[in-house]
Amino acid sequence: MKKLVLLGNEAIAQGAIDSGLSGAFGYPGTPSTEIIEYIQRSPEAEERKIHKIWSANEKTAMEEALGMSYAGKRVLVTMKHVGLNVAADAFMNSALTGANGGIIVAVADDPSMHSSQNEQDSRVYGKFAMMNILEPSNQQEAYDMQRYGFELSEKFNLPVLLRITTRLSHSRADVVRGELLSENKLSMPKDPNQFMLLPAFARVKYKKLLALQPEYDKVSEESPFNNFTDGKDKSVGIIACGLAYNYLMENYQDNECLHPILKISHYPIPRKMVEKITSECDSILVLEEGMPLIEEMLKGYLGNPLNIKGRLDGTVPRDGELNPTIVRKALGLGQFKSNPIPEIVEKRPPALCRGCPHIDSYKALNTSLEKYGKGHVFSDIGCYTLGFLPPYNAISTCVDMGASITMAVGAASAGLFPSVAVIGDSTFGHSGLTGLLDAVTHKSNVVIIIVDNDTTAMTGMQDSVVTGMIEDICEGIGVEKEHIRIFNPLPNKHDENVKIIEEEINYNGVSVIIPRRPCIHVIGKNKKAGGKK
Amino acid sequence: MKKDIILSGVGGQGILSIATIIGYAAVENEMFLKQAEVHGMSQRGGDVQSHLRISDNKIYSDLIAEGKADLIIAVEPMEALRYLPYLCTDGWMITNTKPYINIPNYPDIESVIAKIDEQPKKVSLDADMIAKEIGTVKCMNMVMLGAASPYLDLPVEKLKEGIRTVFGRKGEKIVNMNLEAFDSGRKAAENK
Ligand SMILES: Cc1ncc(C[n+]2csc(CCOP(=O)(O)OP(=O)(O)O)c2C)c(N)n1
Ligand code: SF4
């Protein structure tokens, strides 16, 4: 079969399509977004009517996937690492219900926080939920792990977590396709109570999950993705996980590595292999992308007598992503000669585009709030977060999706006036609705500004689920109609927009203001396929 | 043959098309490829780079180690300098000299060019100007690809085929304009 050149994310998508996928559910988030975007563009997916519409958020996506699995079909769930926090309730409990049709939960972590608020390591969640975790080291493995993952999921009737990180998500390489599998037939769970977690059932299911653990160990011991390569020099043994394995091997392109190497891409960690390498070697270097998960397990609470090097002892930096240079240093190999960045080079942070509608919303807001001083605006996550930067300096907070409205409610309850929230349309659909309901039921004195640019801009122009419905939603939730105001954020409308904001600040209750103008990259451009029209 | 290339510029300047075309030519030439890109927040006018690696042998890392790049191809002069730690000591820097100024503290352009001129092996040209002469500044990236082409050790015909593939669906006129941009860039580099 012809080779394809695919991003890691695209390899996951193609692998899933080729392995009998019936549906993909997810919410955009860098670095995971291209998985579903690829499925949305795929003619095969279109022809087979694979489900591929974005969900409102990661939790709804995970639950929809559970429903598809209940009906016996293979399903993929995608999200970025912090999305798993949103989906965590469904995710954790899915370890107890298990799967009927195979479930792969593909989560993309972002160490070094290229586009994220934190760098949490999803493997910790996988361990927490006691699931099998697959961590591909390259694009081919990302492809191959779909078939393997679905089979594993159906073998144990449990979801499988697939963890990738930014560099694999967004790096292309050639991938050879495998055999094409057909989709599962619709079939209910054999056990009609499989997805019933009343305590009496849950207790039984939890014991079953615990009893499965020794079997997991066996599977990971025999996994094609874990392997041990012996070496003569036992002064150091190297454990390398996922992508870290590539950075390791990069340093031995021209000369053989003399140290024993254990590559881990399937967890739980293969116990016998770990015992072998630790008993034979004087010290162990652990190379893992993200948090020192394996390193901590090997050290144990008391720091066992093994000589373990890694992120905890400073051999590798405690935070941030790995790269071949860092790994080279950890291996004690000499660095290559090169020149430093000249001092004149300045940072070039991302910024709002020229002509962006958010600019005019912030200008109007700044004028309206001038007399109250700084610190009154709670914001959220999206392009509009860049309004924090000069010259706007318009917002004070960005915590997690949806937190603008709820933090404004909390601050208003504490007596802060004015208390303003700025949230994007997609973020509002993701997790603003419930916060708005709180604002209404708490009768909060807040002004909520929903900046509607007709798209999910920050992650690359996906459809936003609330487009065309925002006013109706707000009214339905209980915001008074006369306090739902819409304006067009344009420079020549500055004064009237300022007046609208001031009026709503002076209203003692919940106001919603919707500045509405499409993102300049949306105008005149057909939006990407897959979403609603 | 093995080439490790850093492509750099500002989000929106079109470095990914350069990467795609080199990648196309390499794969058509039966080579292995790895191409790490930047997606996400930096695409909003921030600095962006792509690590492009092509080789006759299997490639492990998606990222190039510091001091190992054979080539920097930059569509913006300050962005050429940002990746200097990656360039091996006898590597080539191929850069556009036209600054893209979207920050208030952009350094004095003369001193940026002076730093570039300190490079022992460099090709620098005003690719924006050449592109404008051809028709539109949008094909500046193909001027830069043309300027870099003598240093890629890839058949020119394959690179041009890549241009036809990438721009094909935009019509014959756009394809020809980009091919012309490529030729002009190549000529400019050869005359340096
Ligand atoms: C829980 C979670 N899921 C996804 C993301 C990724 N993400 C960041 S901003 C954003 C979209 C914002 O869209 P919108 O609110 O419409 O604002 P815009 O970027 O269009 O201004 C997404 C999906 C995230 N940071 N956190
Ligand atoms: S992508 Fe759109 S919403 Fe984002 S900064 Fe640019 S114009 Fe504004």
Q: Provide the pLDDT confidence category of residue A533 given band limits of 50, 70 and 90.
A: very low
The token duo for B60 is 């492990």
- Report pLDDT for B93: 98
The token duo for A274 is 């770990």
Q: Provide the pLDDT confidence category of residue B112 given band limits of 50, 70 and 90.
A: very high
Centre a 10 Å sphere on the Cβ of residue A2 and count the other Cβ atoms it contains: 6
The token duo for A411 is 């601050």
Percent of chain B topping pLDDT 70: 100
**B63 CB-near residues (< 8 Å, 6+ apart):** A167, A247, A323, A324, B36, B51
Q: Please give the Cα distance from A184 to B100 (Å, whole number).
A: 53
Listed residue (A478, A473, A477) closest to A514, CA to CA? A473
| Contact status of B105 with chain A (Cβ, < 8 Å) | yes
- Report pLDDT for A525: 55
CA distance B154 to chain A (A): 18
More confident residue, A215 or A526: A215
- Report pLDDT for B145: 98
The token duo for B168 is 């094909």
Q: What angle do CA A389, A393, A397 make, to 5 degrees?
A: 85
Output the CATH code of domain B2-190: 3.40.920.10
Give the CB-side neighbour count of residue B124, counting CA atoms within 13 A: 20
CA of A522 to the centre of ligand 2 (A): 9
Q: Among the residues of A223-356, which ranges form H helices? A: 244-250, 271-280, 293-299, 324-330
Residue at token pair 């020192």: A292
| Contact status of A346 with chain B (Cβ, < 8 Å) | yes
- Report pLDDT for A522: 87
| Contact status of B62 with chain A (Cβ, < 8 Å) | yes
Closest CA in chain B for residue A322: B63
Contact predicate A157/A100, CB 8 Å = yes
Nearest CA to ligand 2 atom 2: A519
For chain A, first and last CA: distance in Å? 35
| Record: contact B87-A339, CB cut-off 8 A | yes
Residue at token pair 């009768």: A443
- Write the pLDDT tens digit of every residue in B115-167: 999 999 999 999 999 999 999 999 999 999 999 999 999 999 999 999 999 99
| Contact status of A36 with chain B (Cβ, < 8 Å) | no
Q: Which amino acid is it at A1? A: M
| Record: contact B65-A340, CB cut-off 8 A | no
Q: Provide the pLDDT confidence category of residue A530 given band limits of 50, 70 and 90.
A: very low
Buried b (16+ CB within 10 A) or exposed e, B97-132: bbbbebbeeebeeeebeebbeebeebbbbebbebbb
- Average pLDDT over chain B reads 95
- Write the pLDDT tens digit of every residue in A296-343: 999 887 776 789 999 999 999 999 999 999 999 999 999 999 999 999
B102 alpha-carbon distance from chain centroid:
20
- Write the pLDDT tens digit of every residue in A438-483: 999 999 999 999 999 999 999 999 999 999 999 999 999 999 999 9
| Record: contact A460-B84, CB cut-off 8 A | no
* Top mutation candidate among A62, A431, A458, A463 for ligand 1, by most atoms within 8 Å of CB: A458
Contact predicate A255/A167, CB 8 Å = no
Closest CA in chain A for residue B86: A338
* Domains of chain A, each with CATH number or no CATH: 3-222 (3.40.50.970), 227-330 (3.40.50), 357-525 (3.40.50.970)
In B, which residues are within 8 Å of A386 by CB distance? 44
Q: Provide the pLDDT confidence category of residue A255 given band limits of 50, 70 and 90.
A: confident
Q: Which atom of ligand 2 is nearest to the CA of A386?
A: 5
Nearest CA to ligand 1 atom 2: A83
Nearest CA to ligand 2 atom 5: A352
Q: Please give the Cα distance from A446 to A463 (Å, whole number).
A: 28
Tell me if A132 CB under 6 Å of ligand 1.
no
- Report pLDDT for B38: 87
Q: Provide the pLDDT confidence category of residue B12 given band limits of 50, 70 and 90.
A: confident
In B, which residues are within 8 Å of A253 by CB distance? 57, 60
The token duo for A397 is 């907070």
Tell me if A455 CB under 6 Å of ligand 1.
yes
Contact predicate A405/A387, CB 8 Å = no
Q: Please give the Cα distance from A164 to A79 (Å, whole number).
A: 11
Percent of chain A topping pLDDT 70: 98
In A, which residues are within 8 Å of B57 by CB distance? 253
| Record: contact B39-A30, CB cut-off 8 A | yes
Mean pLDDT calculated for residue range B178-188: 97
Tell me if A457 CB under 6 Å of ligand 2.
yes
- Report pLDDT for A89: 98
- Average pLDDT over chain A reads 95
Query: Pairing relation of β-strands A132-134 and A266-267?
Result: antiparallel
Q: Please give the Cα distance from A37 to A357 (Å, whole number).
A: 25
Is omega for the bond preceding A390 within 30 degrees of 0, making it cis?
A: no
Nearest CA to ligand 2 atom 8: A356
- Report pLDDT for A523: 72
The token duo for A63 is 């639950």
Contact predicate A519/A454, CB 8 Å = yes
Closest CA in chain B for residue A249: B60
Q: Please give the Cα distance from B151 to B144 (Å, whole number).
A: 12
- Report pLDDT for A1: 57
- Report pLDDT for A421: 98
Q: Label residue A452 exposed, middle or buried (CB < 10 Å: 0-12, 13-18, 19+).
A: buried
Listed residue (A134, A278, A162, A147) closest to A219, CA to CA? A134
Candidate from A115, A173, A243 with C-beta closest to B41: A115
DSSP line for A392-452:
T----B--STTHHHHHHHHHHHTT-SS-EEEEEHHHHHHHTHHHHHHHHHTT--EEEEEEB
| Record: contact A338-B27, CB cut-off 8 A | no
CA of A530 to the centre of ligand 1 (A): 18
- Domain-by-domain residue ranges, chain B? 2-190
Closest CA in chain B for residue A4: B27
| Contact status of B169 with chain A (Cβ, < 8 Å) | no
Q: Which amino acid is it at B23? A: G
Candidate from A30, A172, A246 with C-beta closest to B41: A30
- Write the pLDDT tens digit of every residue in A158-182: 999 999 999 999 999 999 999 999 9
* Top mutation candidate among A360, A455, A521, A522 for ligand 2, by most atoms within 8 Å of CB: A521
The token duo for A401 is 């999706």
Query: Pairing relation of β-strands A103-109 and A236-241?
Result: unpaired
More confident residue, A429 or B192: A429
| Contact status of A191 with chain B (Cβ, < 8 Å) | no
SS3 state at A284: strand
Mean pLDDT calculated for residue range B50-73: 97
Nearest CA to ligand 1 atom 12: A382
Q: Provide the pLDDT confidence category of residue B41 given band limits of 50, 70 and 90.
A: confident
| Contact status of B45 with chain A (Cβ, < 8 Å) | yes
- Report pLDDT for B191: 85
Residue at token pair 């024993």: A260
Q: Please give the Cα distance from A500 to A365 (Å, whole number).
A: 10
Query: Pairing relation of β-strands A171-176 and A377-378?
Result: unpaired
Mean pLDDT calculated for residue range A364-386: 97
CA of A16 to the centre of ligand 2 (A): 32
Residues 227 through 246 of chain A touching chain B, CB cutoff 8 Å: 243, 246
Tell me if A451 CB under 6 Å of ligand 2.
no
Ligand number with the minimum distance to the CA of B45: 2
CA of A426 to the centre of ligand 1 (A): 7
Model confidence at A501: pLDDT above 70: yes
Q: Provide the pLDDT confidence category of residue B99 given band limits of 50, 70 and 90.
A: very high
SS3 state at A484: strand
Best of A80, A254, A335, A338 to disrupt the B interface (most B CBs within 10 Å) is A338
Nearest CA to ligand 1 atom 4: A29
| Contact status of B61 with chain A (Cβ, < 8 Å) | yes
- Report pLDDT for B43: 79
Q: Please give the Cα distance from A326 to A110 (Å, whole number).
A: 17
SS3 state at B53: strand
| Record: contact B41-A249, CB cut-off 8 A | no
Candidate from B23, B42, B78 with C-beta closest to A345: B78
CA of A429 to the centre of ligand 1 (A): 10
SS3 state at A218: helix
- Report pLDDT for A531: 39
Q: Please give the Cα distance from A71 to A93 (Å, whole number).
A: 18
Q: Which amino acid is it at A60? A: T
Q: What is the 3-state secondary structure (H, E, C) of B90-128?
A: EEEEEEECCCCCCCCCCCCHHHHHHHHHCCCCEEEECHH
Model confidence at B76: pLDDT above 70: yes
Model confidence at A526: pLDDT above 60: no
Mean pLDDT calculated for residue range B28-44: 89
CA of A353 to the centre of ligand 2 (A): 5
Listed residue (A242, A28, A283) closest to A121, CA to CA? A242
- Report pLDDT for B64: 97
Centre a 10 Å sphere on the Cβ of residue A496 and count the other Cβ atoms it contains: 11
Q: Provide the pLDDT confidence category of residue B47 given band limits of 50, 70 and 90.
A: very high
Tell me if A515 CB under 6 Å of ligand 1.
no
| Contact status of B191 with chain A (Cβ, < 8 Å) | no
